[in-house]
Every structure is written in structure tokens, then in C-alpha cells.
Structure 1
Amino acid sequence: MAQSNFIDHVRICSRSGAGGAGSVHFRREKYVDKGGPDGGDGGRGGHVILRGNAQLWTLIHLRYRKHVIAQNGVAGSGQNSTGAQGKDEILEVPLGTVAKDAETGEVLFEITQDGEEKILTPGGRGGLGNDHFKTPSNQAPRYAQPGEPGREEWIILELKILADVGLVGFPNAGKSTLLSSVSAAKPEIADYAFTTLVPNLGVVSYRDYRSFVMADIPGIIEGAAEGRGLGLRFLRHIERNSILLFLIPADAKDLRKEYDILLEELRKYNPELLDKQRILAVSKSDLLDEELMQELSKELPTELPTLFISAVTGYNLDKLKDLIWKTLHESNE
């Protein structure tokens, strides 16, 4: 998942097909001089449909597709023949894709399962043929319904990363280093802020061939919920994680304060995030000795599990995996 190819937000114009018109037609055969109405119905206009695809990771295939247009339905014809339905336009999207109304911001639905299909923009209904309008007093109606017009609307598609564990921390907290140490993911790592510009996913192998997915979310800064730094662009990816792993470096000036700031940014963005299971890991602990760890432990919050780790030396990484697996199991229950 190359950084230049990670697209998690697109805006498209979705246009469904118009329904076909009903037919005004009368039965005409060689020995039937006054056949009744037999006009068929028009076909339904094509829907625009979203379908979940577990093999997709980004929305890049929709980046330059600004207009999605489904086919119109075909008009009905004689002998009560219904017109063909307009062909549906199906858009494959990764799991975790949210569809929103571009004008109001209203969330329409979310795709979370492979193969799941939901109608984004419904096609117009086909009109009824004149066969439906015959009565004892009007046995030869010369009218039929027109098809309903299709709908055109601007839609925003947003991707929220689906992962078991989301890494939460300030820039340079060591999130990318941890992900590269416990999985095969190779995120960009450098000694400057905002090295990670897109979420990175890694599959972490656990005991007995089990595994879980960890997501490295670009660093949060104070004021992110108001749009500072990378702001709201990536905070939404945290919403779909089962548990949150807070990462604070051992060389931070105040461990407790950094944790409180991170927690406050999540609360401002979405208070429901605070209901998720949380773990706190102090990274870069290879810089500390046992005495310093004991002193720093006094600063750490007591309401959640905490652990000192080092992604460089591997210190306590197995214990971290055990803790994550245990917490995931509790979260699922």
C-alpha cells in the first residue's frame, strides 16, 4: 500500500437511470378487430450500487472517476412486454467505506462485509402500460405512465481503516517503528514529525498461527480535533479499531500530560472513542534503566494496562502481544 496510492476520500456525482415509459398499445391480430389494450410496463432505471471488496485497500480506483452513470430503463411495448431494466452501475469499494451526502454531510450507510451490496442512488421506476388503466367504462385507454426520472446527487465516500488495534500517539512516538518490528509492514521511518502521512496496516503474528491487524495512524497533535496538523483527515480511522494502543516515548517531558492530551483530542472528535478498550505503552524504553522505569511508572495512569517497550531491542514486545490478544478477546466478548 504505497503512500502515493493511498486514497481514502473521494467525491463523485452519482446518477441513476430513468425508468422506461409505459406503452400505449392495442392488441391487433388478423381475426381480432377490436383487441383490448396490451401496452407493457417500462423497465426500471439502473441503480448505482456499492459492493464491498475485501481485496481493496484504498479508493484510488475512484479518484478520477467523477461521474458514475447508470443506464436508463427501456420503454414497454405491445403484448404486455415489459421493457428491459437499465444496467446497474456497481462500484467496488474496500471494507470500512462510508457513504455521505455531500451537501448535508448525512451518513447514508457503511460497507463492512465482503460482497455486501447497498444501493447508493436508486433508479427511477418504470411507468405502467395502458393495460393497467382499462375499466368497464374505459376499455381502450390511450394513455400510460411515463417512467420516473433518475436521481443525480453528489456523494462523498470515506474510508475508515478496519483494524483490530489502532496506534495512537504524537508524531515521532515510535508507532511506525513498532509496526515494522511486530509485522511485515514497511512504513517510512525518519526522525522528523509527520513521517507517516497515510495509515499503514500490518498483520501481527501471534501464538498458534493466530494473528491480528495493527494500524499505524498518522500522528495526532494538540488541536487535531479542530483540524490542526493532519487533523480530522485521519482521526476517523481510529473509529473502526477494536482497541486503541496509546504510544508515548520514554523521553517525553510529561508522560501523563501527553496521554491526557491524546485522550482529550479523541474525546473532542468523538466521545464514543473513549468507550473503546485502551492500552498504554511507553516506547523507546531502551533509553531507561530499571530505576528510571520505576520512577516513571508513578506518572502513568492507573485506569488502564501499561507496559514499557522497545521496538528497537524487542524489549517486552511479546508481553505487549499477549496483552493485546487478551484485551481483544475481552473486547469481543
Structure 2
Amino acid sequence: MHFLDQARVFVRSGDGGAGCVSFRSEKFIEFGGPDGGDGGRGGDVIVECVSDLNTLIDFRYQQHFKGKTGMHGMGKNRAGGKGPPAILKVPVGTQLFDEDQEEPFADLTEVGQTVRVCRGGNGGFGNAYFKTSTNQAPRRANPGEVGEERTLFLRLKLIADAGLVGLPNAGKSTFLSVVSAAKPKIGAYPFTTLHPQLGVVAIDGREFVMADIPGLIEGAHEGIGLGDRFLGHVERCRVILHLVDATGEHAGKDYKTVRTELNAYGGGLTDKREIVALSKIDVVEPDHLKKQVERLRRACGHTPMRLSSATRTNVTEALRAITGIIDADKVAEGIAEAPAWQP
């Protein structure tokens, strides 16, 4: 399945059903009077958050959604039925924007959340509604109210506890494949990862979700390379694992390049807790590794971790450091852990 994190859709609620003009015409009933029923309400347009989706790819093939028109009123005081709603199913983490795309008016972060984006039109009154003591045989009925319409922009921001950032070929996909069951594409060339990947990481009986996004290069905020559009998927992360390639020319400059792009993007990414690690330490000479560690220490302000996904060197330590930050963040937010199940 292809990954799509942005979509534009046109939605319209259903029109209300028309009221009915009808009179009783039954045998032996001399003064029947009006008995036209009201029209039914048009179908709403509802956006629902579901658990079995992780992309907006469905909206590439269908961009128009419309609620059904309410049923018209009928004789014998029978009101029309309500029109069925149009339901748009979206993955967890979807934000809804109007055409200006400035601020989201809804953020669906939990399964089962629903938002009514267009209200169905009211049904028209039948002629029985207009009966009065002075007008006992009205011959008028209202048409149904016209439904609402609007253009929506959907933007998906994956919900993960930890995010992987770094330059292309920094070893992010390899790290994710080692610590989780995810199978991201891995290759010895830049931009192997073309869209975000999620993996569930298990460590010390605990689990958390980690997101890997495509690599950043200098000028990504200006659209160079794959740009910075995928950084939205780490906005919800509690901690960032910043991988720096030990085989690069200058680890300090590589670190600052990525931090510059994070700062240019905004979204509070530079304020998040960060773990800095030097990756691929198994393929560099000890002298060069020592220089890279010192360069990276001067750039980030503290001694970085040394990682090797191939040999699993310090991988467990990195995961424990991530879970420590996640737990501390949850405690600060007052989120209590669910008690362990016992028979």
C-alpha cells in the first residue's frame, strides 16, 4: 500500500426532503382535511477515526463525498426518513483544515472520535403543519433545506513515542529494522526511505512506537531533496533519536545541518528531548571515530552515544534511554500506567 499523508476532498451534506401536500380521501369521511407529512432531514457528512488505517491513500481515488437526500413526506401524515450520512474514515492522527490551511479545526487522535463537518438540510413541512382554525385546507408545503458544502484538507501526522532524524544514509532504517519488526527499504544510497515508517519496539517488557522519516539535507526547508514535509510526523513524538553517520566527513557539521532544518521547520521540534548517537561505529577506524566523537560533542554540547545496528552495540542502552524519557514525560503529564493484568 502506498503512503499518502495529505489529501484534499470536497464534501456536501444531503438536502432535506420536501414536505407533502395531501388530503384524506377515505370513504365515509366527509371532512378529511390535510394529512401531508414533513420531509426527512438530509444526511450529514461525518469524519470518523478508525484503527485499521495508517495512510490517506483512499482519498486519492475518491475526492467527493455527499450525504443522501432526505426522503420526501407522504400522505397519511407520514414523515420522510432521514438521509444516510456520508462517513469519511481516516487514520489516527489526522488533522482537518479548511481551505486556508492555517489552523486545524479538528485533530483526531483517538479511535472512535467523530466530527460532523457538514450538517444535513432540514426537511420541509407538509401541508398538515400549516393547518389552522382559519385555514383548514392549506395547499402549500415547504421544500427541503439545501445541504452544506465545503472543501477539506486532510493532513496525517503519525502518532509515535520516538522519532528518528538525521541525514540520508545515517542508518535510521537499519536501526528501525533491528529494534522492531518493521521492514523498511535499506540501501547504500541516499533517500532510500521515501515515506515515513512505523515500528513497535519492545524493551524490558515495555513497548513504544518509533517513527523513521526520510533523511534531511541542507536546504530541506526550501524544498531541496524530499523537503521537510515529513517532519510533521515527529511533531507528536516525546523524544527524538538523532543519528549521525560516523563515516561522514565531519560529524559536528552534519549534526548542525539537521538541527538547522528542524529549527527552520518549527513546530517545537527543537524543544523536544533529544538523544544524539554516532552510528556505524563498526566500520570506522578508532582514530577517526575518536575525532568524530569529539566533533559531535562540541556541536551538541554533550558526549554522544556510540551505536552500531549491525553489531547491536549500545542498541539496548539507546532504547532504555528512550523509554526513560518517555516514562518521565508521561509522569510529568500525569498519565498513569495501566496495572499489569493478573489472573
TM interval, shorter chain, is 0.7 to 0.9
Identity %: 47
* 2:127/2:139 contact within 8 Å kept: yes
Q: Secondary structure at the match of 1:220?
A: coil
Q: Which residue of 2 aligns with 1:332?
A: 330
Q: Letter of the aligned partner of 1:302 in structure 2? A: G
Q: Is residue 210 of structure 2 the alignment partner of residue 240 of structure 1?
A: no
- Counterpart among 172, 175, 179 of residue 178 in structure 1: 175
By how many angstroms is 1:191 displaced? 1.7
Distance 1:288 1:121 in 2: 63
Q: Which residue of 2 aligns with 1:214?
A: 210
Distance 1:122 1:227 in 2: 38
Distance 2:285 2:122 in 1: 69
By how many angstroms is 1:195 displaced? 0.7
CA deviation string 1:168-197 (max 9, x = no partner) = 111111111111111111111112111100
Stretch moving more, 263-272 or 91-100: 263-272
By how many angstroms is 1:29 displaced? 4.6
Distance 2:112 2:245 in 1: 41
* 2:161/2:239 contact within 8 Å kept: yes
TM-score by length of 1: 0.88
Q: Secondary structure at the match of 1:240?
A: coil
By how many angstroms is 1:294 displaced? 5.8
Q: Which residue of 1 aligns with 2:320?
A: 322
Q: Secondary structure at the match of 1:23?
A: coil
Unpaired stretches in structure 2, ≥5 consecutive residues: 332-343
TM-score by length of 2: 0.85
Q: Letter of the aligned partner of 1:63 in structure 2? A: R
Superposed, which structure 2 residues align to 1:290-329 within 5 Å?
A: 291-292=290-291, 295-296=294-295, 298-302=297-301, 306-329=304-327
Q: Which residue of 2 aligns with 1:251?
A: 247
- Counterpart among 81, 101, 105 of residue 105 in structure 1: 101
Q: Which residue of 1 aligns with 2:49?
A: 52
- Counterpart among 86, 91, 110 of residue 89 in structure 1: 86
By how many angstroms is 1:233 displaced? 3.0
Q: Secondary structure at the match of 2:178?
A: helix
Q: Letter of the aligned partner of 2:236 in structure 1? A: R
* 1:23/1:77 contact within 8 Å kept: yes
Distance 1:297 1:153 in 2: 50
- Counterpart among 143, 148, 168 of residue 146 in structure 1: 143
CA deviation string 1:301-325 (max 9, x = no partner) = 237x842211111111111011000
Q: Letter of the aligned partner of 1:280 in structure 2? A: V
Q: Which residue of 2 aligns with 1:116?
A: 113
CA deviation string 1:272-292 (max 9, x = no partner) = 233332222221222264854
Q: Which residue of 1 aligns with 2:279?
A: 283
* 2:46/2:88 contact within 8 Å kept: yes
Q: Which residue of 1 aligns with 2:184?
A: 187
Distance 2:204 2:245 in 1: 27
In the superposition, relative to structure 1, how do residues 132 and 256 fare at CA in structure 2: closer, same or farther (>3 Å)? farther
* 2:250/2:295 contact within 8 Å kept: no
Q: Letter of the aligned partner of 1:318 in structure 2? A: T
In the superposition, relative to structure 1, how do residues 256 and 296 fare at CA in structure 2: closer, same or farther (>3 Å)? closer
Unpaired stretches in structure 1, ≥5 consecutive residues: none
Q: Is residue 202 of structure 2 the alignment partner of residue 166 of structure 1?
A: no
Q: Is residue 226 of structure 2 the alignment partner of residue 223 of structure 1?
A: no
By how many angstroms is 1:110 displaced? 2.4
In the superposition, relative to structure 1, how do residues 82 and 264 fare at CA in structure 2: closer, same or farther (>3 Å)? farther
- Counterpart among 70, 75, 90 of residue 73 in structure 1: 70
Q: Secondary structure at the match of 2:65?
A: strand
Distance 2:149 2:96 in 1: 15
Stretch moving more, 72-81 or 23-32: 23-32
Distance 2:230 2:297 in 1: 32
Q: Letter of the aligned partner of 1:274 in structure 2? A: T
Distance 1:274 1:282 in 2: 19
Stretch moving more, 197-206 or 261-270: 261-270
Q: Letter of the aligned partner of 2:240 in structure 1? A: L
Stretch moving more, 128-137 or 169-178: 128-137
* 1:250/1:288 contact within 8 Å kept: no
Stretch moving more, 230-239 or 257-266: 257-266
Q: Which residue of 2 aligns with 1:127?
A: 124
Distance 1:288 1:120 in 2: 59
Q: Letter of the aligned partner of 2:16 in structure 1? A: G
Q: Letter of the aligned partner of 1:248 in structure 2? A: V
Distance 2:175 2:60 in 1: 31
Q: Secondary structure at the match of 1:125?
A: coil
* 2:252/2:296 contact within 8 Å kept: no
